[in-house]
């Protein structure tokens, strides 16, 4: 049958051109998957999948991932089921063999993208670039998923051990009034229920006392979490299927910060003495129903305190006071202190700069005082001149005969003269009795 020539060719082919032959027969790695699949919520869906490979691996591991913007979560792992995300455990099955990589998911509840990867020790090939979208449709027999929506902020930064209020509104099908509101927290080990409007029994023990619904209205799903300690991703819903995460992949990421927001003092620019101004102190927070308390270090009888809803879970509490600048306050510290629910305080200090102004009242007083002084000086001078003139008269009379009208000034002068004489006398006396030295007294002191 086989000619030696054939054999030669075969040998040539086998040993000389193996690479060439292999290249001819080789197909690249490819995955064949649909672009998207529509599936009713809570139904079982099969994602058809086949692949081609250079040579079909004898033994390989098949992994299916749920596409994520940061990391892809494993939803099926033929080698190790414990690596599968808890939300998918016991819900995914590989239905094919060989090059059939189809996956079945039961109870689908989220619209998401999925892709397979095939791996053995020497390769790991995935279809990451072309994932399959599963469109989840329909919610109940009475309505479709699009009749449900939950609106809430995507991120909120809250102060450690303080409170956070996640604003939230919901729309529901007009004919579906009999629902129960719940909130979930994403957890690597499977999401937990942190709030249930009907019962506390199936709520995670750690959250029972911490969570409450803010407004008891059908259209409001705002959640208050007290004493918040850890970062977390929260989402509202009415059950495991109809919820913000399943329907739209939406969560509210609460970031817990160790430090309060910055306090802001305004209205202290260009202070002028005696011109009243309104100064205010403001701080952002996340606890609309119990805002931090603001205190000033200057006396104020009627601070106007407002708590402003800034949307997206942020509130601003503002304390406004009327302040009459005084030059006494110049360079003194102005302090505003915020005390949070958890006892944490934050202080903002500013140095007051008060411009002393030329006050019209002050100058009137000054001028009046100066005028009065000037008048007094004038009067005194006049009296003095008058008296001097009279004095001359008196001395002239005194030389002739003793006059009872001797002025005080004259009398004084005489007394001084007498004293002087006495002193002189005493000095002499001292010199005579205690000292032979006839020199002046001051020399005696020097000795
Ligand atoms: C296989 O991939 C290479 C490059 O990655 C490409 O040049 C070649 O044409 C592909 N072959 C087939 C059969 O698709
Ligand atoms: C899934 O939804 C996308 C848009 O969200 C749409 O383009 C696509 O056609 C849908 N696929 C199916 C199978 O309905
Ligand atoms: C989802 O389907 C299962 C049975 O397949 C059923 O027991 C369960 O109640 C359904 N859940 C919802 C929320 O419809
Ligand atoms: C992985 O698969 C390739 C292709 O089938 C094969 O050549 C290789 O031996 C396999 N490696 C192991 C460790 O099984
Ligand atoms: C399976 O995966 C888990 C989690 O990644 C790991 O702890 C465990 O060691 C793995 N088991 C095996 C048999 O590889
Ligand atoms: C894969 O295998 C399953 C079960 O044997 C079969 O139903 C399905 O049609 C196969 N898919 C493809 C794409 O071959
Ligand atoms: C795949 O499974 C089918 C039955 O589901 C079987 O007939 C076929 O031989 C299997 N193929 C391989 C390559 O194991
Ligand atoms: C295989 O590839 C996928 C997607 O490219 C990647 O996420 C995964 O970590 C890889 N696995 C291993 C074991 O390298
Ligand atoms: C929902 O609709 C399906 C058919 O679409 C029906 O079989 C089922 O009984 C309905 N369930 C309820 C609770 O109405
Ligand atoms: C929560 O329950 C109260 C009474 O228990 C009810 O009035 C309110 O409408 C419910 N709110 C929501 C959003 O379910
Ligand atoms: C509070 O937050 C708003 C934005 O929500 C910002 O414009 C404002 O400056 C902040 N105020 C303070 C006092 O930090
Ligand atoms: C705060 O504002 C948001 C958005 O405007 C609104 O949804 C929320 O109900 C408001 N909260 C209160 C307590 O008024």
**Under DSSP, is residue 25 helix (H, G, I), strand (E, B) or coil?**
helix
Q: Is 49 exposed, middle or buried (0-12, 13-18, 19+ CB in 10 A)?
A: buried
Span from the CA of 140 to the centroid of ligand 9 (angstroms): 9
CA distance 211 to 165: 10
Ligand 11: which residues within 6 Å by Cβ?
261-262, 264, 282-284, 310, 314, 316
**Is the CB of residue 199 below 6 angstroms from any atom belonging to ligand 4?**
no
Residue nearest ligand 7's atom 2 by CA: 97
Nearest CA to 94 among 53, 122, 61, 52? Answer: 61
- Residue 264 CA, closest ligand 11 atom number: 13
Name 31's Cβ contacts closer than 8 Å, sequence gap at least 6.
49, 50, 51, 101, 115, 116, 127, 130
Hey, which of 213, 219, 309 would you mutate to test ligand 12's pocket, going by the most ligand atoms within 8 Å of its Cβ? 309
Nearest C-alpha to atom 14 of ligand 8 is from which residue?
124
Quick: pLDDT tens for 185-232: 999 888 999 999 999 999 999 999 999 999 878 899 999 999 999 999
pLDDT at 49 over 60: yes
Mean pLDDT of 19-44: 72
Give, using CA atoms, the residue closest to atom 4 of ligand 8: 126
Q: What share of the chain is helix, strand, coil (3-state, %, to 5)?
A: 25, 30, 45
- Provide the pLDDT confidence category of residue 17 given band limits of 50, 70 and 90: very low
83 lines ligand 5 (CB under 6 A): yes
List, for residues 414-438, the tens digit of each pLDDT value: 344 344 433 333 343 343 333 434 3
Separation of alpha carbons 380 and 374, rounded Å:
10
Q: For residue range 112-169, what is the model confidence (pLDDT) as tens digits?
A: 999 999 988 888 899 999 999 998 776 654 456 678 899 999 999 999 999 999 999 9
CA–centroid distance, residue 131 to ligand 1 (Å): 21
Judged by its nearest atom, the ligand closest to the C-alpha of residue 95 is 6
Q: How far does residue 73's CA lie from ligand 8's centre (Å)?
A: 11
* Ligand 11 center–CA 267 separation, angstroms: 16
Per-residue b or e along 349-379, where b marks 16 or more CB atoms closer than 10 Å to that residue's CB? eeebebeeeeeeeeeeeeeeeeeeeeeeeee
- Closest listed ligand to the CA of 265: 11
Share of the chain above pLDDT 70, in %: 75
Model pLDDT, residue 275: 93
**Dist CA 344 CA 162 (whole Å):** 9
Query: CB within 6 Å of ligand 2 — which residues?
Result: 36-38, 133, 135
Pocket test of ligand 1: the residue of 28, 30, 32, 52 to mutate, having most ligand atoms within 8 Å of its CB, is: 28
CA-wise closest residue to 94 among 111, 77, 114, 82: 77
- Ligand 9 centroid from CA 412, angstroms: 130
Pocket flag, ligand 12, residue 292 (CB < 6 Å): no
Smallest-distance ligand from the CA of 111 = 2
Give the number of the atom of ligand 3 that is nearest the alpha carbon of residue 242.
Answer: 13
Ligand nearest to the CA of 53: 4
Q: What is residue 70's three-state secondary structure?
A: coil
H or E element, residue 285? strand 277-285
Over the stretch 241-254, which tens digit does the pLDDT of each residue have? 789 998 888 999 99
- Which atom of ligand 4 lies closest to the CA of 59? 14
Determine the Cα–Cα distance for residues 101 and 47; give it in Å rounded to an integer.
9
pLDDT tens digit string along 268-319? 999 999 999 999 999 999 999 999 999 999 888 789 999 999 989 999 999 9
Burial class (CB in 10 A: 0-12, 13-18, 19+), 185: buried
């Amino acid at each position: 049958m086989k000619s030696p020539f054939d054999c030669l060719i075969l040998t040539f082919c086998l040993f000389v051109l193996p690479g060439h032959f292999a290249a001819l027969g080789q197909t690249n790695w490819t995955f064949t998957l649909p672009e998207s699949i529509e599936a009713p919520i809570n139904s079982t869906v099969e994602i058809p999948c086949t692949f081609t490979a250079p040579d079909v691996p004898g033994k390989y591991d098949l992994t299916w991932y749920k596409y994520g913007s940061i990391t892809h979560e494993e939803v099926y792992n033929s080698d190790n089921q414990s690596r599968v995300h808890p939300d998918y455990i016991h819900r995914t099955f590989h239905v094919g063999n060989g090059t059939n990589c189809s996956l079945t998911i039961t109870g689908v509840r989220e619209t998401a993208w999925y892709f397979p990867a095939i791996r053995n020790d020497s390769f790991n090939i995935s279809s990451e670039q072309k994932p399959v979208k599963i469109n989840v449709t329909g919610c109940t027999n009475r309505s479709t998923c699009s009749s449900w929506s939950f609106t809430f902020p995507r991120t909120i930064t809250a102060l450690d051990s303080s409170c956070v209020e996640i604003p939230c509104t919901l729309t529901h099908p007009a004919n579906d009034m009999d629902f129960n509101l719940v909130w979930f927290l994403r957890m690597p080990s499977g999401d937990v229920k942190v709030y249930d409007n009907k019962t506390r029994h199936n709520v995670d023990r750690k959250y029972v006392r911490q969570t409450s619904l803010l407004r008891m209205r059908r259209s409001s799903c705002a959640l208050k979490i007290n004493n918040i300690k850890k970062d977390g991703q929260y989402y509202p819903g009415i059950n495991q299927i109809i919820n913000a995460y399943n329907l739209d992949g939406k969560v509210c990421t609460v970031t817990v910060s160790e430090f309060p927001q910055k306090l802001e003092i305004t209205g202290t620019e260009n202070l002028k003495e005696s011109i009243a101004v309104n100064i205010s102190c403001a701080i952002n927070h996340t606890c609309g129903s119990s805002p931090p308390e603001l205190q000033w270090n200057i006396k104020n009888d009627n601070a106007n305190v407002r708590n402003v809803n800034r949307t997206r879970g942020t509130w601003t509490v503002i304390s406004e006071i009327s302040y009459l600048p005084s030059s006494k306050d110049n360079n003194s510290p102005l302090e505003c202190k915020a005390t949070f629910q958890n006892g944490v305080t934050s202080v903002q200090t500013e140095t007051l700069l008060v411009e002393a102004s030329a006050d019209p009242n002050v100058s009137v007083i000054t001028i009046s005082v100066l005028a009065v002084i000037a008048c007094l000086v004038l009067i005194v001078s006049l009296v003095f001149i008058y008296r001097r003139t009279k004095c001359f008269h008196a001395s002239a009379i005194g030389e002739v005969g003793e006059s009872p009208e001797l002025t005080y000034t004259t009398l004084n002068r005489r007394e001084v003269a007498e004293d002087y004489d006495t002193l002189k006398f005493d000095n002499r006396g001292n010199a005579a009795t205690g000292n032979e030295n006839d020199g002046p007294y001051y020399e005696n002191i020097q000795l």
